[in-house]
């Protein structure tokens, strides 16, 4: 039987209509509030590098018009009759995952991000067959399972990138035992993901080394983010001096690069986790793996239980992201800067403060 979407709630948003990449105002419909749904008045939406890929159809899967945004915070304005965990006025967020099958082995373990039928918050296909629209909009309707509570001590603007960047680095840190103090962590790349990884590492008692191609970032890494050490990855002398010095490495670089020199920084049995998505394959020579019994793995965001756990820990440690607020009339300017990596460290779209909405 064909499912006919019941979309009657008018929403003001911003969308890319084609591969030109220009974002423009867009009026669309969201579904009616179901019994298990939470309606959120959007206050802030993070601007992720993934947005650029979808806006320009870099991966060949964009369904236009696309309303980007998978880092969303706001205030609950309505709840369905089966919702008991949230109430009107609660401070909440929605991340990368909008829906999943709810019944497979991964969903039963709250690994919804690995469900075969996972639906992304935008450019996904929802249960009713409709295309999902993201957080570049003034409201969103979300199933209660995919809504996260934001601790009261965290500002909604600086907390919003945690719903993507935060959980993306937290999940592999938990999986590989990086939450225990005393170890040594290398963070490759000091951008949106990298600066959060540094903050997590310091909060969890790790010795943190930033690995970057840019010597200009050393002062920021050491003084602002309190990194313990800094390595310029193009400096062979520095890289050689730190051979076999790290227990773990989180690689956040989204450009093509070789993993060989980075792997040499790991101790025997060390672990390297890739959390970014370069548009070309990375180079992975076998010798650094074989002679160091090292492991390379990947990780993609996290499940809902883990996301709430991460957000609560951020509340306990008062961890937020370093952001730059962007008004809705400057979206295209911010995206152009994001494409040049001209941001420290995350753009956040200020939607709640726009008097036009």
How do residues 241-278 score in pLDDT, each as one tens digit?
999 999 999 999 988 899 999 999 999 999 999 999 88
Q: How confident is the model at residue 172 (pLDDT cuts 50, 70, 90)?
A: very high
- The predicted model scores a pTM of 0.92
Task: Tell me how far apart the alpha carbons of residues 160 and 31 are, in angstroms, rounded to a whole number.
Answer: 24
pLDDT value of position 255: 87
Q: How many CB atoms lie within 10 A of CB 150?
A: 24
pLDDT mean over 59-79: 97
Indicate the Cα dihedral angle 80, 84, 85, 86, nearest 10°.
40
Instruction: Return the pLDDT at 357.
Output: 33
Kindly report, residue by residue over 86-136, the tens digit of the pLDDT.
999 999 999 999 999 999 999 999 999 999 999 999 999 999 999 999 999
Instruction: Return the H-helix or E-strand segment holding 184.
Output: strand 184-188
Which residues are registered as beta bridge partners of 296? 272
pLDDT > 90 fraction of the chain, expressed in percent and rounded? 91
Please, are residues 326 and 348 in contact by the beta-carbon 8 Å criterion? yes
């Amino acid at each position: 039987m064909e499912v006919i979407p019941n979309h009657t709630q008018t929403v003001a948003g911003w969308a890319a209509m084609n591969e030109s990449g220009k974002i423009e105002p867009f009026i669309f419909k969201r579904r009616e509030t179901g019994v298990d749904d939470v309606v959120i008045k959007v206050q802030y939406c993070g601007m992720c590098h993934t947005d650029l890929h979808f806006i320009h159809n870099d991966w060949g899967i964009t369904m236009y018009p696309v309303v980007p945004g998978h880092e969303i915070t706001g205030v609950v304005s309505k709840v369905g009759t089966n919702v008991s965990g949230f109430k009107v006025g609660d401070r909440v967020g929605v991340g990368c995952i909008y829906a999943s099958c709810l019944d497979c082995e991964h969903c039963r373990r709250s690994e919804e991000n690995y469900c075969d039928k996972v639906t992304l918050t935008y450019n996904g296909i929802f249960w009713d067959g409709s295309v999902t629209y993201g957080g570049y909009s003034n409201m969103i309707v979300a199933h209660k399972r995919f809504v996260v509570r934001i601790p009261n001590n965290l500002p909604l603007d600086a907390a919003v990138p945690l719903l993507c960047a935060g959980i993306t680095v937290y999940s592999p840190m938990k999986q590989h035992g990086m939450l225990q103090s005393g170890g040594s962590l290398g963070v490759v790349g000091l951008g949106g993901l990298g600066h959060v990884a540094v903050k997590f590492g310091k909060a969890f008692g790790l010795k943190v080394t930033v690995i970057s191609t840019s010597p200009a970032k050393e002062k920021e890494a050491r003084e602002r983010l309190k990194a313990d050490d800094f390595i310029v990855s193009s400096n062979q002398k520095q890289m050689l001096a730190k051979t076999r010095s790290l227990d773990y490495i989180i690689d956040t670089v989204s450009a093509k690069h070789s993993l060989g020199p980075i792997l040499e920084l790991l101790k025997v049995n060390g672990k390297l986790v890739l959390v970014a998505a370069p548009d070309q394959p990375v180079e992975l020579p076998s010798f650094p793996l074989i002679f160091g019994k090292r492991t390379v793995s990947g990780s993609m965001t996290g499940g809902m239980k883990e996301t709430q756990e991460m957000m609560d820990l951020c509340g306990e440690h008062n961890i937020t992201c370093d952001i730059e607020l962007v008004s809705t009339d400057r979206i295209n300017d911010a995206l152009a800067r994001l494409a040049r990596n001209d941001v420290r460290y995350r753009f956040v779209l200020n939607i709640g403060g726009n008097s036009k909405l």
